[in-house]
Structure 1
Amino acid sequence: MPFIATLTLNPAMDLSVGTARVVSTDKLRCSLPRHDPGGGGINVARVVKTLGGKALAIYPSGGPFGELLQRSLDELGLVHRPVPIRGDTRESFTVDELETGLQYRFVLPGPSLAAEELQRCLDTVAALHPAPQYLVLSGSFPPGVAVGFFDELVLLARRIGARLVVDLSGEPLAHAASQGGAYLMKPSLNELSSLMGYPVVGEVQQEEALRSLIQRGCAEIVVLSLGAEGALVARGEYLQRIASPQVPVTSAVGAGDSMLGAIVLALAEGRELGDAVRCGVAAGAATVMRPGTELCHREDVQRLLAGLDRSDR
């Protein structure tokens, strides 16, 4: 079975609650909290496992939330390699406003990582045996981590023979796009606009922007995540738009990570690129159906994918 490793530099314990209404200065009575391990790469690995693949999550871990994160991953049965750090793993939280259906997401910055802690993350990847076929770098960079960390990971991925997949934002994404070296990159529409330096509006501009990224060598494959509208994928001269199934939206947390996990697993299993992105679109849609920080369920992904297989060929 193909082996997928993920690296999450800024993991979190995700807390989600519901309350009737979010009102300034009021004491808000909340539902019982739900805790889920979070952070881009950890979510990707969870989805790969949920869909029947083999995944391993690598992440820095420290403090009480780091311990809780490790226990949570043990309970999920996910293979993981925590890298001890001096700082405390962060907590992030989501509040669902039950009367309106609105969702409020609070994302904390996370601990700084020392140079030796970052190096231990790289060493942990390098020590994997067998080496992963795919290495996924997903999620935010913690405070103080230089964008040049991406360059080190590119060199490591080449040395171990892994295809590097990146899902980043802000300066790390801009740097990764300028340097090249990624096999697959998955920007959102806002992130694509940031890369291009202008608002990308409409399907024609989306397609032109993806062609430009491919021609500039930003990545071999670029998948544009379009939320409820699905995805647009480009590779060489290949360009395809894939619609998303219409589903009730409960929570947007983890939808992009679910999309990426399903895409990478499908590619690792040898699926054609368009089919792999269909798997990703189905997984993203299956995740938004779930409350709080819960991710997709395998049966939902399979059901939604069957509908896409019939309607999008």
Structure 2
Amino acid sequence: MNSFNIVTLTVNPAVDKSTHLKGLVPEQKIRCEVPRYDAGGGGINVSKAISRLGGVSLAVFTKGGPTGIMLENLLEKETIPTKAIEVQAWTRESFIAVDDNTNSQYRFGFPGAALLEGEVQIILDTIVGLNAKFLVLSGSLNEGLSAGFYQEIAQRVKNTNTKLIVDTSGEALKKVLETGVYLIKPNVGELAKLVGKSHLELNDINDAAKEIINKGGAEIVVVSLGPQGAVLVTKDVYEYVPAPNVLKKSTVGAGDSMVGGMTWALSQNKSLKEVIRWGVACGSAATMNEGTQLFKKEDAERLFDWLMTK
């Protein structure tokens, strides 16, 4: 297999199914439009975002059953290099529905079935053996998979040249910070929990992020503020970037698009000022499209150019 500067891991991927309806009424049959299918899951979406920017990454993911075959076929259409790890459990699905009468979006996510012990070991050995310059661990974990799964990967690559980028939450994020990574992307609520606070104001974010950095949890902390934008913090840098005002159609994949934009920019040796702006540009551009389509390159480029003036 060819070597790749960027590798993404999606241990709990999904086939995303999205549709439109007119009126959500209990106990009545709801007529939906023809569904759209997309390959989904954190790392897969990151690889899709990188591809849209003209970059190349290897998407490593588990696949099982007919939905796993469908997932792989969808990625082949995206012309993204992939490495599928066969598992016994069927790949999960997710469902997104938009009510055209109210423009309300409903998102239904299902858990991923448990993996066998031998399958977990294959995933660990595969991902560590690729020796990527940037390794992105993104998304939820399967039922029964230890919260220390990402941490184990971090421990295995700690003394290598691999820069670990982690986008997860809860106990899995807390555990991986004990080992230390290159970059994390919590939202402001997740950051508050990491530093033992009930909530954080904008002027508290720098100190909270520095607390994680000073403990060796991460070199770069990017805090997503939703419609307010994002903040990038290192031991020496503080960059706040406001989100551009765009017409939002869907928030699905916005966070993954942000991670993809930043990872691509880092791989291109962009400055941190550019890195955070590419992240916000891609995340904002993703909200301009319906369902699970992520973003269009021209939208991301236009928003990036605007953000560079801010």
Bucket of the pairwise TM-score, normalised by the shorter protein: over 0.9
Change (3 A) 1:2 1:242: farther
Moved more, 285-294 or 157-166: 157-166
Aligned to 1:138: 138
CA offsets 1:264-312 (integer angstroms, 9 cap, x no match): 11011101112101000000000000001111111110011111112x1
CA offsets 1:89-135 (integer angstroms, 9 cap, x no match): 0000111111111111101001111221111112222343xx32100
Aligned to 1:50: 52
Per the alignment, in what secondary structure is the counterpart of residue 224 of structure 1?
strand
CA offsets 1:65-100 (integer angstroms, 9 cap, x no match): 101000000111011101000101000011111111
Alpha-carbon deviation of 1:235?
A: 0.5
Cα distance in 2 for residues equivalent to 1:103 and 1:109: 20
Moved more, 235-244 or 64-73: 235-244
**Which residue identity lines up with residue 66 of structure 2 in the other structure?**
P
Please give the root-mean-square deviation of Cα atoms over the aligned residues, in Å. Answer: 1.4
Does the Cα contact within 8 Å between 2:56 and 2:80 map onto a contact in 1?
Answer: no
Q: What number of residue pairs does the alignment pair up?
A: 308
Alpha-carbon deviation of 1:207?
A: 2.2
Moved more, 119-128 or 40-49: 119-128
Moved more, 204-213 or 63-72: 204-213
Alpha-carbon deviation of 1:160?
A: 4.7
Aligned to 1:4: 6
Per the alignment, in what secondary structure is the counterpart of residue 205 of structure 1?
helix
Any residues of structure 2 matched to 1:152-231 within 5 Å, and which? Answer: 152-158=152-158, 160-177=160-177, 179-231=178-230
Change (3 A) 1:159 1:202: closer
Alpha-carbon deviation of 1:247?
A: 0.3
Does the Cα contact within 8 Å between 1:135 and 1:157 map onto a contact in 2?
Answer: no
Any residues of structure 2 matched to 1:230-309 within 5 Å, and which? Answer: 230-309=229-308
**Which residue identity lines up with residue 161 of structure 2 in the other structure?**
G
Output the TM-score relative to the length of structure 2: 0.96
Q: Which one of 80, 83, 97 corresponds to residue 81 of structure 1?
A: 83
Q: Which one of 75, 88, 105 corresponds to residue 103 of structure 1?
A: 105
CA offsets 1:197-234 (integer angstroms, 9 cap, x no match): 32323211222211222122210100001111110111
Does the Cα contact within 8 Å between 1:167 and 1:187 map onto a contact in 2?
Answer: yes
Cα distance in 1 for residues equivalent to 2:128 and 2:286: 32
Output the TM-score relative to the length of structure 1: 0.95
Cα distance in 2 for residues equivalent to 1:202 and 1:151: 29
CA offsets 1:243-269 (integer angstroms, 9 cap, x no match): 111101100000000000100110111
Identity %: 39
Alpha-carbon deviation of 1:159?
A: 5.2
- Following TM superposition, the consecutive aligned residue runs of length 4 or more in structure 1 with deviations greater than 6 angstroms are none
Per the alignment, in what secondary structure is the counterpart of residue 157 of structure 2?
helix
Cα distance in 2 for residues equivalent to 1:125 and 1:97: 40
Per the alignment, in what secondary structure is the counterpart of residue 176 of structure 1?
helix
Cα distance in 2 for residues equivalent to 1:190 and 1:22: 31
Per the alignment, in what secondary structure is the counterpart of residue 190 of structure 2?
helix
Alpha-carbon deviation of 1:150?
A: 2.1
**Which residue identity lines up with residue 78 of structure 1 in the other structure?**
I
**Which residue identity lines up with residue 133 of structure 1 in the other structure?**
K
Change (3 A) 1:248 1:17: same
Cα distance in 2 for residues equivalent to 1:274 and 1:118: 37
Does the Cα contact within 8 Å between 1:134 and 1:165 map onto a contact in 2?
Answer: yes
Aligned to 2:67: 65
**Which residue identity lines up with residue 281 of structure 1 in the other structure?**
V
Cα distance in 2 for residues equivalent to 1:107 and 1:155: 30
Does the Cα contact within 8 Å between 1:126 and 1:160 map onto a contact in 2?
Answer: no
Moved more, 51-60 or 150-159: 150-159
